[in-house]
Amino acid sequence: MDRRPFIAANWKMYKTIGEAEAFIMDLLPRIKDVKDRDIMIAPPFTALQAVANAVKGIEQCFAAGQNMHFEQNGAFTGEISPVMLRDIGVDYVILGHSERRHIFGEDDAFINKKVLSALSHDLAPVLCVGERLEDREAGMTEEVLRQQLTKGLNGIAVEGNSDLIKKIIIAYEPVWAIGTGKTATPEMAEDAHSFIRKLIEEIFNSTIAENILILYGGSVKSSNITGLMKEEDIDGVLVGGASLDVEHFERIIKF
């Protein structure tokens, strides 16, 4: 098993173009010798082209959208299409983030259309899943993950598509841990991650399950990443708040 660590920043609705450029210019020299892991940065759409330009040609650094529509174009006021993301040199797109699900009402069927569309446009989807506190307290965590993954990954035939499927990244982000300062313990996260890997085997096959990257997200900081990354099935992290500060993010990258 050779899963390369993947450290992702989700800036949410933070940073102007100038702030994003200054961050990347500060970050790149700090990480120039870090070659054994991949780094993804998802700025707001307005700063996305600037970030994509700044990381262009840097082998281990990628720009990502935080969301997209599944159509290529059309009368969808306020939306951005996969073609537009490709057009500015974006390689990854976060889909189904809990804020999209719970604030903006995106459901699994809608997110599934985006996953299929991303793959067909050669964009790597980072599909976010995760239970709410009430789901966990009701013992429903695994059921919620099963629903989100089987529905979110519906309609992707394994045969003939293994190169496409290899692009998929899963991010396990328990909703109760996002932005709250409450991280899942490494053991809790590992339980969910190993369950997710088993589900991926059921949905696709064991080779895909062994190779797929499963990131943990939810109050990741430089002080807790090491414990999380020691777990067998945790291949990387998706970091919100702690990715906004370049020194802190550098420490996370170099965990």
Name the site residues for ligand PGA (rule: CB under 6 A).
10, 173, 178-179, 217-220, 238-242
The 10 Å Cβ neighbour count of residue 76 is: 11
CB 182 to ligand PGA: min, Å: 9
Alpha helices in 121-222 (DSSP H): 133-137, 141-152, 162-165, 186-203, 206-211
Q: Within 13 A of 6's CA, how many CA atoms are on the CB side?
A: 26
- Annotated active-site residue 97? The verdict is yes
Nearer to ligand PGA, 123 or 178 (CB): 178
CB of 94 to ligand PGA, least distance (A): 8
- C-beta of 14: minimal distance to ligand PGA in Å? 10
Chain centroid to Cα 248, Å, comes to 19
Residues 6+ apart with CB under 8 A from 103: none
Residue with the shortest CB distance to ligand PGA: 240
CB of 71 to ligand PGA, least distance (A): 25
Give which of 248, 195, 247, 193 is closest to 219, Cα–Cα.
248
Q: State yes or no: is 142 an active-site residue.
A: no
Decide whether 172 or 204 has the Cβ nearer to ligand PGA: 172
Cβ closer to ligand PGA: 10 or 148? 10
Q: How far is Cα 255 from Cα 245, in angstroms, rounded to an integer?
A: 15
Among candidate residues 97, 99, 190, 193, the one labeled active-site is 97
- Token pair in block for residue 228: 């999380």
Q: Nearer to ligand PGA by C-beta: 106 or 204? A: 106
Q: Indicate which residues carry an active-site annotation.
A: 97, 173
